């Protein structure tokens, strides 16, 4: 044991805390961070695909119809005393949805009429109307839904999952993110490792060109040559590591070099769609420019989780429709509707849906009112009190709608829970206990929920 470890143990107020922290560091030093680990309890899901609709989609215009707004359309409304964004200035007016709603599937789930394909898999989905955010600003709200902390710097949900469960494929990272060409507000910190070891950060796939730069070695460099170079580099780095045993970044860099070498073949195979038949490509919408971009992401997600990747996050944006909501939300729904429905059906048909958790949400919802530009440009403002979210697969209550919002969609009023409870529930479905999934940092054990939360039992099958 190094002297600094001994002194650290003496300084702890509780001997058990010191022991656990030292064991944690020994485990990290042994380089077994990403090895498969036993869950805390029997999991309902083994992996997760998180569909992030960046910008804040409107529940009122997607899955939570509010006919009362038709009678109030364009009547003046005062939101004084409520939490509103900086854009909520001047006169405010009620805004009805420009879309028609109908019930879908045997479950009778409500969807606006732009969801043509998702309606066909409605009975696989659990819609939840009780979730509330805590921020109405995009960067802080995105950090919150992704990392459990509105101010950034903490590990992403996918990082926590990989820290808790390890990887099922040593040749691939356990956490992938497929962002838009323009990163979401807050940038890569939305999928960073925070204070966890660097091995747990996401690997981002580029939306255009080569998904990962420099994946192939330079021309004329063989695998054998690469192996010799890495062996020499590792020898030098490990010699340096002996003098700096607490350097997790150096250890992570060593592991990253080895992972990059191993994944050269595997990741190219996973991201090569040549072995997919035309029926599958067409089902995901890859033959249509309107749906091809997100369809490719969804198909990549299926292939990644098939290859043992624990957590895949897809971004589609931006849903920040302050005006022209009929056009803006309409086009966005059209772009993701077919790919998402194809993903659900494909996983179901392959027997993967039952142990794959799918989550669809943004960072907050939208308001029933907004300012009006030019008399016709109706849109919606940010709303943290009610937000749309649905889940599928992985042990959730398929074919149900849980919770409710008030008659105008301004606030969740039934089965109301904060985001930390959603995070605790997602971890629970994956076999992880948020109170046990901790990491010692800055003098205390930290967890995704920050200070604990409650499993939303109503969502569980």
Residues 254 and 376 in one domain: no
Of all residues in the chain, the percent with pLDDT exceeding 90 is: 68
pLDDT band at 251 (very low <50, low <70, confident <90, very high): low
Rounded CA-CA distance 318/175 in Å is: 23
pLDDT value for 236: 74
394: number of CA atoms within 13 Å, CB side? Answer: 25
Query: Residue 34: its pLDDT value, please?
Result: 72
d(Cα 279, Cα 287) in Å, to the nearest integer?
10
Three-state DSSP state, 311: strand
Q: Is residue 235 over pLDDT 60?
A: yes
CA dist 302 → 306, 340, 424 (Å) = 6, 11, 24
Q: Are residues 77 and 223 in the same domain?
A: no
> Band of the pLDDT at 91, cuts 50, 70, 90?
confident
Q: Structure pTM? A: 0.86
Q: Are residue 278 and residue 416 in the same domain, yes or no?
A: yes
- Other C-beta atoms lying within 10 Å of the C-beta of residue 91: 10
Specify whether 70 is located in the same domain as 84. yes
Give dist(CA 17, CA 284) in Å, integer: 50
Partner residues linked to 356 by β-bridges: 47
**Rounded-to-integer distance, Cα 355 and Cα 24, Å:** 29
Whether pLDDT at 391 is above 60: yes
pLDDT band at 30 (very low <50, low <70, confident <90, very high): very low
Q: Which residue has the higher pLDDT, 322 or 314?
A: 314
Q: What pLDDT score does 24 carry?
A: 43
Determine the structural domain holding residue 9 and report its residue range: 1-30
Average pLDDT over residues 319-326: 93
Q: Are 296 and 162 in contact (CB under 8 A)?
A: no
Residue 63 is classified by DSSP as: T
Q: What is the largest CA-CA distance in the chain?
A: 74
pLDDT at 217: 67
* pLDDT of 361: 98
144-173, pLDDT tens digit by residue? 999 999 998 999 999 999 999 998 888 899
Query: Which string of b and e fits 229-265 if b means at least 16 CB within 10 Å?
Result: eeeeeeeeeeeebeeeeeebebbbbbbeeebbbebbe
11 pLDDT exceeds 70? no
Confidence of residue 376 (pLDDT cuts 50, 70, 90): low
Which pLDDT score is estimated for 268? Answer: 80
pLDDT tens-digit readout, 256-268: 666 665 666 667 8
pLDDT score of 256: 65
**What percent of the chain is modeled with pLDDT above 70?**
79
Flag the least confident range among 11-25, 277-291, 371-385, 430-444: 11-25
Categorize the per-residue pLDDT at 86 as very low, low, confident or very high, splitting at 50, 70 and 90.
Answer: very low
Residue 122 — pLDDT band, cuts 50, 70, 90?
A: very high
**C-alpha distances out from residue 104 to 69, 299, 408, Å:** 22, 25, 22
66 SS3 class: coil
Clarify whether residues 4 and 58 are in a common domain.
no
pLDDT the model gives residue 211: 79
In a shared domain, residues 297 and 442: yes
Nearest Cα residue to 449 out of 427, 431, 134, 440: 427
Confidence of residue 27 (pLDDT cuts 50, 70, 90): very low
pLDDT in the model for residue 101: 98
- Is the pLDDT at 96 greater than 90? The verdict is yes
Residues 243 and 307 reside in one and the same domain? no
pLDDT for 40-65, tens place per residue?
999 999 999 999 999 999 999 999 99
pLDDT at 23 over 80: no
- The set of residues, in sequence order, having a beta carbon less than 8 Å from that of 327 and lying 6+ positions away, is none
89-98, 118-127, 200-209: which has the highest mean pLDDT? 118-127
Residue 312 — very low, low, confident or very high, per pLDDT cuts 50/70/90? very high
- Spatial distance between the Cα atoms of 257 and 274, rounded to a whole number of angstroms: 28
Answer whether residue 338 shows pLDDT above 50.
yes
Return the pLDDT at 12. Answer: 44
Those residues with Cβ within 8 angstroms of residue 157's Cβ, 6 or more apart along the chain or in another chain: 50, 146, 147, 148, 311, 423, 426, 448
Q: State residue 138's pLDDT score.
A: 97
Q: How many domains does the chain have?
A: 3
> Which of the pair, 379 or 5, is modelled with greater confidence?
379
Q: Are 157 and 288 within one domain?
A: yes
- 437 plus 300 within the same structural domain: yes
Same domain membership, residue 239 and residue 183: no
Q: Is the pLDDT at 220 greater than 90, yes or no?
A: no
24: alpha, beta or left, given left = phi > 0 and alpha = psi -120 to 50? alpha
Verify that 337 and 363 share a domain, yes or no.
yes
Say if residue 84 is in the same domain as residue 55. yes
> Contact, 303 vs 49, CB < 8 A?
no
Tell me what pLDDT residue 33 has. Answer: 65
On average, the pLDDT of the chain sits at 87
Helix, strand and coil content of the chain, in percent to the nearest 5, comes to 40, 15, 45
Q: Which two tokens stand for residue 396?
A: 């959730």
DSSP result, 21-54:
HHHHHHHHHTT-TTS----SS--S-SEEEEEEEE
42 contact partners, CB below 8 Å, separation of at least 6: 431
The pLDDT confidence band at residue 76, using thresholds 50, 70 and 90, is: confident
């Amino acid at each position: 044991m190094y002297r600094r470890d001994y002194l650290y143990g003496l300084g702890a107020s509780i001997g058990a805390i010191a022991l656990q922290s030292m064991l944690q560091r020994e485990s990290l030093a042994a380089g077994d961070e990403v090895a498969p680990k036993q869950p805390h309890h029997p999991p309902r899901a083994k992996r997760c695909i998180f569909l992030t609709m960046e910008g804040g989609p409107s529940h009122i215009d997607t899955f939570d119809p509010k006919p009362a707004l038709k009678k109030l359309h364009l009547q003046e409304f005062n939101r004084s005393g409520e939490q509103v964004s900086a854009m909520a200035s001047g006169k405010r007016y009620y805004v009805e949805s420009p879309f028609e709603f109908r019930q879908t599937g045997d479950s009778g789930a409500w969807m606006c009429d732009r969801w043509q394909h998702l309606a066909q898999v409605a009975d696989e989905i659990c819609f939840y109307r009780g979730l509330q955010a805590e921020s109405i600003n995009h960067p802080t709200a995105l950090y919150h839904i992704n990392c459990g902390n509105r101010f950034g710097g903490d590990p992403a949900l996918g990082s926590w999952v990989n820290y808790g469960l390890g990887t099922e494929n040593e040749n691939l990272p356990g956490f992938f993110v497929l962002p838009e060409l323009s990163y979401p507000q807050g940038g890569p910190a939305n999928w960073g490792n925070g204070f966890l070891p660097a091995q747990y950060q996401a690997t981002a796939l580029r939306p255009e060109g080569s998904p990962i730069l420099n994946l192939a070695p330079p021309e004329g460099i063989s695998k054998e040559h690469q192996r010799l170079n890495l062996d020499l580099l590792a020898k030098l780095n490990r010699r340096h590591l002996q003098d700096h045993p607490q350097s997790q970044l150096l250890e992570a860099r060593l592991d990253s070099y080895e992972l990059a070498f191993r994944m050269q073949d595997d990741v190219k195979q996973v991201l090569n769609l040549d072995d997919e038949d035309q029926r599958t490509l067409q089902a995901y919408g890859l033959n249509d420019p309107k749906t091809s971009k997100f369809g490719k992401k969804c198909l990549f997600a299926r292939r990644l989780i098939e290859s043992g990747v624990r957590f895949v996050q897809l971004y589609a944006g931006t849903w920040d429709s302050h005006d022209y909501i009929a056009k803006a939300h309409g086009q966005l729904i059209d772009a993701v509707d077919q790919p998402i429905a194809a993903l659900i059906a494909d996983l179901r048909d392959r027997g993967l849906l039952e142990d794959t958790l799918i989550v669809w949400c943004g960072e907050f919802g939208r308001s029933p009112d907004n300012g009006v530009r030019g008399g016709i440009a109706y849109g919606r403002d940010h709303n943290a009190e009610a937000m749309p979210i649905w889940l599928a697969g992985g042990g959730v209550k398929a074919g149900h709608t849980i919770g409710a919002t008030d008659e105008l969609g301004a606030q969740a009023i039934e089965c109301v829970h904060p985001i930390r409870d959603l995070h605790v529930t997602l971890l629970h479905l994956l076999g992880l206990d948020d109170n046990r999934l901790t990491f010692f940092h800055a003098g205390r054990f930290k967890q995704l929920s920050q200070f604990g939360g409650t499993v939303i039992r109503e969502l569980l099958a």
